[in-house]
Structure 1
Amino acid sequence: MASKTSQIVLGTRALNRATLARQMLLERVPVGAGEAVSGLVGLQAQNVRPPYFQLHARLASFRPAELAAAMEAREVVRMVTLRSTIHTHTAHDALTLRPLVQAARDREVAQFRKGLGGVDLERLTRRVRAYVEEEPRTMAEIRAELLREWPGADPLGLSVAATRRLPLVQVTPRGVWGRSGQVRLTTVERWLGADAVAEAQERPLDVDGLVLRYLRAFGPASVKDMQVWAGTTRLREVFERLRPQLAAFRDESGVELFDLPDAPRPDEDTPAPPRFLPEFDNLLLSHADRSRVVPPELKGRSWSGNQAHCTLLVDGFLAGLWRLEEGGGLTVELFGRIGAAQEELVVAEGERLLADMAEEGSGSVRFASIRG
């Protein structure tokens, strides 16, 4: 095993290109939506539309109807998993990944213990399961049902307990492109059915396997990086157990990074085309040190309060924000100047997005005032 001081140092651009390659952002790849969702270990789906835009930025021939059909066929689902946020996962990952982060979700319930005094959490779990498996329920209905038994409890605490203690999925039509619907919840087991549950039991996912999948999608990465991505802790011993089968590097700050030996690590000068990413794209959320994508001087510029903006990558790095305009068209706001050649590529990529993803299907790409 190489000592830390003898490990190869990966600079920011090298890390950028390696991560973009794993994220299918150096070039669009010819795979289906389900395979991409699995390879990326889920898509951040705090809002309804971002998963569709995430796939459009990555897949060669993606159309929203493909992911919508997979959702309606229950091949993919929306549920709370990583970082306690809603993700779109394949059916298999929904059943096998959630148990691996369940301990962290349980700890979130403990934060509300003052408002849950006298609430038997095991009884609450059984009651919610029975209630939502009768038929999918809204959060308001679940909360009202629980308040009938524990009228003095904190309503928010009851809601958190229900959604963290149980693997609840948002049933369709919620999340289906072009349709609308309230958030209605049932258990992942009821929604996916006995056959899917049996298949998941035959092909379980353990924490070692999850580490390897994370590295394949987001590496090279540190232990802390993965802990940020998953919203969990105490993964050091897992990485140490896997060390003999991993490659180890350092970043320019001396932090140890792990990777799969056969994973792509392109040359740092590999071209990276412009890409329009939606709000909450996991590319920007899955490392403790995000400088591999977000230049230090732009840290925090893709957020306003708790709301993330849609982001533009130029040469692989955050370079601006974008939005679709009501009535058509796409507006780009750059953080700094880019060359004429890059601007032409941004316009071409924006026109592709408008043609494939804008509901109006028309309009043009315009540049707004450069943000200081």
Structure 2
Amino acid sequence: MLTLRDLNRATLARQHLLSRHRGEPGDIVHRLAGLQAQEPRPPYLGVWTRLEGFERDDLHAALHARTLVRATMWRATLHLVTAADFAAFRPLLRPVLAGAARRFEGVDFEAVVAAAGRLLAAGPMTFNELRPRLLEEFPGAYDRALGYAVRMLTPLAMEPTGDRWSFPRDPAFGLAGIEPEPAGQSALVERYLAAFGPATPADVQTWSGLGGMRPVMEAMELERLTDAAGRVLFDLPGAPRPGGDVPAPVRFLPDFDTLILGHADRTRVLAEEFKGRVATKNLRIKAVYLVDGFAAGTWQIKRSGKKARLLVSPFATADLGQIEEEGLRLLAFAEPDATTLSLEEANGV
């Protein structure tokens, strides 16, 4: 039987949050099967907290070399993934993405996708540029519906720029140009468990957006374990499970971090009573910091001139001294041109 702490440590080990990985940014992106990338900066911070000696320019270079791409993937949301995973798993997600597109009625999806392909063949465009062009071909249509259909149904990748976090506020999208090499559902399950396991079929479905995972997992040669509630958890044979007594260092996770979003039951990292303080009504997932492996508060960066402050909001009374060293290291990475760095309690900010 796996205790809550056993589950916590097993997952942190696979997320490289017990000890940082030594290697390249692409290693982390591959091992986690992608990082949530709703905004440009969080993937950089997500790699930083998991990779020893990470340099911003290394991830920037990988994006420009197209070994990593920022594209619509799991749960029909933006992720940073390897080009190989885009080729393998984007085809598998086609039903999910098509289902998301159908939220808008009265759209000739096939015609819209064909038109977008013609327009984007001439070069990348922002959606603010693309939507008016689509309206010329589909007069009277709802422009947002046209754009959303293209985003879901056309394999696109964001075009990286020279910005600090590789993408501007209004990024251009282009045809990904990555030849599909479809993987099967069992390959998806293996990759998920390697990054998030042990887990239930519901966990896999929550992370990926795909349904019907139970029969797939039951047909695979996976270990069957139980948690404290008696639920059956599946895992890869020989996968790391270091035990609940292994020390876990302080770690800072960015907004929308894949770990917080990766399970149907988030209690292995985020206690139920704190869920409402992390997930907002407008579907934002706040940045959190981990103490002893579990979310202990949220954080944000405030910048004023050359002064950068890391403001933390603990969930309970806390000794900020235990998180200060790691927090200031994060702040120095995120705000490299700041001359004054400090960590403070938010006090309702």
SS of equivalent to 1:111: coil
Residue in structure 2 matched with residue 212 of structure 1 by the alignment? 190
Deviations 1:227-251 (A, max 9, x none): 0000111112211221xx2111122
Conserved 8 A contact 2:40-2:166: no
- Answering whether residue 148 of structure 2 is matched by residue 160 of structure 1, we say yes
SS of equivalent to 1:137: coil
**Pair 171,98 (structure 1): closer, same or farther in 2 beyond 3 Å:** same
Q: 1:349 & 1:64 partners in 2: Cα distance?
A: 18
The answer to which of 299-308 and 69-78 deviates more is 299-308
Conserved 8 A contact 2:328-2:342: yes
Residue in structure 1 matched with residue 134 of structure 2 by the alignment? 146
Deviations 1:48-80 (A, max 9, x none): 000000011101110111101111111111100
Residue in structure 2 matched with residue 132 of structure 1 by the alignment? 120
- Answering whether residue 196 of structure 2 is matched by residue 183 of structure 1, we say no
- Answering whether residue 27 of structure 2 is matched by residue 35 of structure 1, we say yes
Residue in structure 2 matched with residue 354 of structure 1 by the alignment? 331
SS of equivalent to 1:364: strand
Conserved 8 A contact 2:279-2:286: yes
* Amino acid in the other structure paired with 1:67: L
Q: 1:154 & 1:368 partners in 2: Cα distance?
A: 45
Q: 1:28 & 1:361 partners in 2: Cα distance?
A: 25
Q: 1:309 & 1:319 partners in 2: Cα distance?
A: 12
**Pair 17,175 (structure 1): closer, same or farther in 2 beyond 3 Å:** farther
Instruction: Give 1:88 shift.
Output: 0.5
Q: 2:338 & 2:270 partners in 1: Cα distance?
A: 30
SS of equivalent to 1:100: coil
- Answering whether residue 98 of structure 2 is matched by residue 110 of structure 1, we say no
Show the 5 A alignment for 1:53-92.
Answer: 53-92=45-84
Instruction: Give 1:174 shift.
Output: 7.6
Residue in structure 2 matched with residue 4 of structure 1 by the alignment? none
- Answering whether residue 210 of structure 2 is matched by residue 232 of structure 1, we say yes
Instruction: Give 1:320 shift.
Output: 0.8
* Bigger helix share: 1
Q: 1:139 & 1:61 partners in 2: Cα distance?
A: 36
Conserved 8 A contact 1:276-1:313: yes
- Answering whether residue 147 of structure 2 is matched by residue 169 of structure 1, we say no
- Answering whether residue 283 of structure 2 is matched by residue 280 of structure 1, we say no
- Answering whether residue 336 of structure 2 is matched by residue 335 of structure 1, we say no
Conserved 8 A contact 2:311-2:346: no
Q: 1:174 & 1:240 partners in 2: Cα distance?
A: 46
* Paired residues, number: 344
Q: 2:162 & 2:288 partners in 1: Cα distance?
A: 24
Q: 1:46 & 1:279 partners in 2: Cα distance?
A: 9
**Pair 174,137 (structure 1): closer, same or farther in 2 beyond 3 Å:** farther
**Pair 267,183 (structure 1): closer, same or farther in 2 beyond 3 Å:** same
Q: 1:179 & 1:120 partners in 2: Cα distance?
A: 31
Show the 5 A alignment for 1:194-273.
Answer: 197=179, 201=181, 204-242=182-220, 245-273=221-249
* Amino acid in the other structure paired with 1:294: L
TM-score normalised to the size of structure 1? 0.88
Q: 1:214 & 1:234 partners in 2: Cα distance?
A: 15
Conserved 8 A contact 1:78-1:175: no
Identify unmatched segments of 5+ residues in structure 1. 1-8
Instruction: Give 1:225 shift.
Output: 0.3
Deviations 1:177-222 (A, max 9, x none): 2663631111111xx5xxxx3xx64xx4221111100000000010
Residue in structure 1 matched with residue 11 of structure 2 by the alignment? 19
- Answering whether residue 276 of structure 2 is matched by residue 300 of structure 1, we say yes
Q: 2:346 & 2:62 partners in 1: Cα distance?
A: 40
* Amino acid in the other structure paired with 2:191: R
- Answering whether residue 299 of structure 2 is matched by residue 322 of structure 1, we say yes
Q: 2:341 & 2:125 partners in 1: Cα distance?
A: 42
Q: 1:263 & 1:139 partners in 2: Cα distance?
A: 42
The sequence identity of aligned pairs, in percent, is: 39
**Pair 345,169 (structure 1): closer, same or farther in 2 beyond 3 Å:** same
**Pair 225,175 (structure 1): closer, same or farther in 2 beyond 3 Å:** farther
